[in-house]
């Protein structure tokens, strides 16, 4: 059957969707995930709060469940995420740590998790959302205690634990050229010059119709590829102010097509992942009141115009 992933595969790329553990119980949803897509990302299951709920006590149950589902359906898995300011376990967030202690905690966490998933994930979002909108470093617990060197250290520790896995930095609002993506460009160029292992840059692509399409997305993907990196669209969704109507759905379809074409225009843009594929399960409505309808399938798992736009862009590449 023709699927988004089979169309993407013809271009040497994958097409994926994130999934949360609870969504695997929705069998219609899980079945379509398993047939339409070639890659998945755990929405929450590999985050720090889930994987090291107590200091030094690791629990890979949630991530393992998604890996098992993926293997049974021949999906590859993107690991998400090792270092992030959000969804940290209470013991870590509420503790007071010296630089020496926090460095040891970070190294142990990264090493244990990357070793556990060695050979099971093809890529890791090693550090997630480390920049502010103005291109300064986000003052998360790691930055405040360790300084910006924690990023290179995290990449080195991840590489030591699995030399074969692709290592990414990942963020939102970096799809277009601007202060935030410029900061990543400068950082990654420096990391490369310093011999730090980094393979890819992840553009989350949580877009919203009311804010306009990212500025020169194709050129932006290209400049990161020109640094010798893979680029991936990692968390794509395109929300709108509800209710949806035919005009908004048409604009959304156009944007999904544009994102697909921007990726396909750059050889090293390796794949696209939706942050969930249907409006039935989406992180958006509870977070952005009055917004949603962001995915290419509706609440009833019916294809929206966005699906056809993606399929058309892939098929005509
Ligand atoms: O696990 C609890 C459950 O016990 C409780 O009953 C329920 C009631 O609220 O909450 C559950 O936790 C929720 C968790 O997802 C697991 O479902 C949290 O409230 C909720 O805040 C959390 O949201 C996640 C969000 O990251 C947190 O920032 C979303 O599912 C997840 O899709 C989202 O993903 C992020 C990426 O990791 C990074 N980029 C942005 C993206 C969207 O925010």
Mutual angle of helices 61-72 and 27-36, in 10-degree steps = 60
Question: For position 237, what pLDDT does the model report?
Answer: 98
- Whose C-alpha lies nearest to ligand 1, atom 36? 43
Total count of domains within the chain: 1
User: How many whole angstroms separate alpha carbon 307 and alpha carbon 317?
Assistant: 16
Residues 6+ apart with CB under 8 A from 202: 125, 168, 169, 170, 171, 231, 232, 233, 234, 235
43 lines ligand 1 (CB under 6 A): yes
The pTM assigned to this predicted structure is 0.98
Of the candidates 260, 255, 304, which has an alpha carbon nearest to the alpha carbon of residue 282? 304
41 lines ligand 1 (CB under 6 A): no
Question: What is the SS3 string spanning the chain?
Answer: CCCHHHHHHCCCCEEEEEECHHHHHCHHHHHHHHHHCCEEEECCCCCHHHHCCECCECCCHHHHHHHHHHHHCCCEEEEEEEECCCCCCHHHHCCCCCHHHHHHHHHHHHHHHHHHCCCCCCEEEEEECCECCCCCECCCHHHHHHCCHHHHHHHHHHHHHCCCCEEEEEECCCCCCCHHHHHHHHHHHHHHHCCCCCCEEEECCEEEHHHCCCCCHHHHHHHHHCCCCEEEEEEEEEEEECCCCHHHHHHHHHHHHHHHHHHHCCCCEEEEEECCCECCCCCHHHHCCCEECCCCECCCCCECHHHHHHHHHHHCC
Count of CB atoms situated within 10 Å of the CB of 261: 18
Separation of 44 CA from ligand 1 center, angstroms? 7
Separation of 22 CA from ligand 1 center, angstroms? 11
Question: For position 105, what pLDDT does the model report?
Answer: 98
Mutate to test the pocket of ligand 1, among 127, 239, 283 (most ligand atoms within 8 A of CB): 283
Mutual angle of helices 179-193 and 217-225, in 10-degree steps = 10
Catalytic residue among 52, 93, 235, 299: 235
By the 8 A CB rule, do 88 and 146 touch?
no
Question: For position 89, what pLDDT does the model report?
Answer: 98
User: How many whole angstroms separate alpha carbon 37 and alpha carbon 74?
Assistant: 9
Mutate to test the pocket of ligand 1, among 18, 26, 44 (most ligand atoms within 8 A of CB): 44
Question: For position 67, what pLDDT does the model report?
Answer: 99
Residues 6+ apart with CB under 8 A from 96: none
- Whose C-alpha lies nearest to ligand 1, atom 34? 43
234 lines ligand 1 (CB under 6 A): no
282 lines ligand 1 (CB under 6 A): no
Is the CA virtual torsion 81, 86, 90, 91 positive or negative? positive
Q: What is the mean pLDDT of each run of 10 residues along the chain (317 residues)?
A: 97 98 98 98 98 98 98 98 98 97 98 99 99 98 98 99 98 98 98 98 98 98 98 98 98 98 98 98 97 98 98 97
Distances (CA, A) of 33 to 38, 203, 270: 9, 22, 19
Q: What is the pLDDT of residues 256-315, one digit of tens each?
A: 999 999 999 999 999 999 999 999 999 999 999 999 999 999 999 999 999 999 999 999
Separation of 16 CA from ligand 1 center, angstroms? 19
Per the structure, the complete domain to which residue 236 belongs is given by: 4-315
Separation of 66 CA from ligand 1 center, angstroms? 16
Q: What angle do CA 34, 80, 116 make, to 5 degrees?
A: 90
ipTM above 0.90, yes or no: yes
Q: Is 133 a catalytic residue?
A: no
Question: For position 171, what pLDDT does the model report?
Answer: 99
By the 8 A CB rule, do 317 and 234 touch?
no
Mutual angle of helices 179-193 and 149-161, in 10-degree steps = 60
Domain harbouring 55, CATH code? 3.20.20.80
């Amino acid at each position: 059957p023709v699927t988004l992933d089979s169309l993407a595969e013809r271009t040497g790329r994958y097409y994926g969707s994130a999934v949360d553990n609870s969504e695997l119980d929705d069998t219609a949803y899980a079945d379509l995930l398993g047939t339409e897509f070639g890659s998945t990302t755990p929405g929450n299951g590999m985050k720090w709060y889930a994987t090291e709920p107590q200091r030094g006590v690791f629990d890979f149950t949630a991530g393992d469940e998604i890996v098992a589902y993926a293997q049974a359906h021949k999906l590859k898995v993107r690991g998400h995420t090792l270092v992030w300011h959000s969804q940290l376990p209470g013991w870590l967030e509420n503790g007071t740590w010296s630089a020496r202690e926090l460095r040891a905690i970070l190294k142990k966490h990264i090493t244990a998790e990357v070793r556990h998933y060695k050979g099971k994930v093809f890529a890791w979002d090693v550090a997630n959302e480390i920049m502010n909108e103005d291109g300064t470093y986000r003052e998360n617990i790691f930055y405040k205690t360790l300084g910006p060197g924690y990023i290179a250290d995290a990449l080195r520790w991840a590489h030591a634990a699995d030399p074969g896995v692709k290592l990414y930095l990942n963020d939102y609002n970096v799809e277009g050229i601007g202060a935030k993506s410029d900061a990543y460009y400068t950082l990654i160029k420096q990391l490369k010059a310093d011999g730090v292992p980094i393979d890819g840059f992840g553009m989350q692509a949580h877009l919203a119709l009311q804010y306009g399409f990212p500025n020169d997305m194709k050129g932006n993907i290209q400049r990161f590829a020109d640094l010798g990196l893979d680029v991936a669209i990692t968390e794509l969704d395109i929300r709108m102010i509800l209710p949806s109507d035919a005009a908004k759905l048409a604009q959304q379809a156009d944007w999904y097509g544009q994102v697909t074409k921007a990726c396909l225009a750059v050889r090293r843009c390796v794949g696209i992942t939706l942050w969930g594929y249907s409006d039935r399960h989406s992180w958006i409505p509870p977070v952005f009141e009055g917004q949603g309808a962001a995915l290419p399938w509706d609440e009833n798992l019916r294809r929206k115009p966005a699906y056809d736009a993606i399929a058309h862009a892939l098929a005509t590449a």
